Amino acid sequence: MPFLMFMSVLQKRTPADCVSLALSGALFSWSKPVLVISGLNKGTTCGYDTLYSGAVAGAREALICGVPSLCISLNWEKNVSCESDLKDAVTVCLPLIHAAIRDIQKGIFPKNCFLNIGIPSCPLTNKGVKVTRQSPQRSSLSWQAVSTNKNPSAGHYMSNQQSLGIMLAQLGRDASAAAAARRLNSNRKNVEVESVGVAGKFSSQQTIKKYFRMELTEKEQQDIEEDLDSRELEEGFVTVTPLSLYANVHMEIQSSVSSWLAIALSGDQ
């Protein structure tokens, strides 16, 4: 099997879960693939979005399992992009995919990282390929309480968007991080997420439900350097950003934490 291209088709499971299952041997009898491709994602995975993206998590899971991987995303622009752009994005990616398979088999593909590939909104008119760094860009979110009655359209939308990783947010003393709502990697606005609040020792009959609307505002523009992923993608380049499994911090931060910890545990306040 030259490579495995997967989609998050398992209901209520994440792309990382799908990759884990596919590589476990429980679902498929063949040996591990040469390459895992996570995508094509409908929306960018630049900057801090890599921390929330299900597509990036899928590629990361493959690398954790020892399989080289690519995450591929299209810079989808609301009211501008169309479905044919997805096909064009695949066309643009094919040379990179073929080169990756070839060089993995030769043993010269980059190791200890996976490649986060961004395709510009007009794939066929891209300006070329650039190796980039993860930018400090983040999306601004606005949460609004809408009502105590669920909007029927929200349930319909959520039921048809399992791959986007929308989950119910359980709020309260017993809530866990695993139950927190995931960010929606899309430009779509006014998405309702159900939150179930359990306050104190209320019984199940006293559970309070509230509904909130998440609005994605414009991304904060902080990219002034030319080799950052979000900037180059907006400029029309195909971006290739190597991402590691390890979130290493700068030495000065390491030193700062070490100094703080020594003081914090010494009892000298």
Residue 220 has pLDDT above 80, yes or no: no
Q: CA of 199: how far to CAs of 57, 99, 260, in Å?
A: 32, 55, 35
pLDDT single digits (tens) 3-13: 454 544 555 67
Q: What is the pTM of this model?
A: 0.71
What was the pLDDT predicted at 255? Answer: 85
Higher pLDDT, 223 or 174: 223
What was the pLDDT predicted at 196? Answer: 47
Task: Give CA–CA dist 162/159, Å, rounded.
Answer: 6
Q: Which CATH architecture has domain 4-136+222-248?
A: 3-Layer(aba) Sandwich (3.40)
Strands 139-147 and 208-219 come out as: antiparallel
Task: Give CA–CA dist 202/189, Å, rounded.
Answer: 33
Bridge partner residues of 198 (DSSP) = 172
Q: Which of 77, 19, 7 is nearest to 44 (CA)?
A: 77
What was the pLDDT predicted at 167? Answer: 36
Query: Which residue has 């590629």 as its token pair?
Result: 59
Task: Give CA–CA dist 55/210, Å, rounded.
Answer: 29
Residues 6+ apart with CB under 8 A from 29: none
Q: What is the mean pLDDT of the chain?
A: 76
pLDDT single digits (tens) 227-259: 899 999 999 999 999 999 887 667 788 788 888
Considering only 16-25, 61-70, 76-85, 200-209, which range has the smallest mean pLDDT?
A: 200-209
Residue 205 has pLDDT above 50, yes or no: yes
When pLDDT is averaged across residues 108-114 and rounded to a whole number, the result is: 93
What was the pLDDT predicted at 107? Answer: 94
pLDDT single digits (tens) 25-84: 887 777 788 999 998 999 999 988 898 899 999 999 999 999 999 999 999 998 899 999
| pLDDT above 90 coverage of the chain, percent | 39
Q: Where are the domains of the chain?
A: 4-136+222-248, 139-219
pLDDT classification of 110: cutoffs 50, 70, 90: very high
Contact between 191 and 184 under an 8 Å Cβ cutoff? The reply is yes
User: 3-state SS of the chain: helix, strand, coil percent to 5?
Assistant: 35, 25, 40
Q: Which of 146, 89, 147 is nearest to 123 (CA)?
A: 89
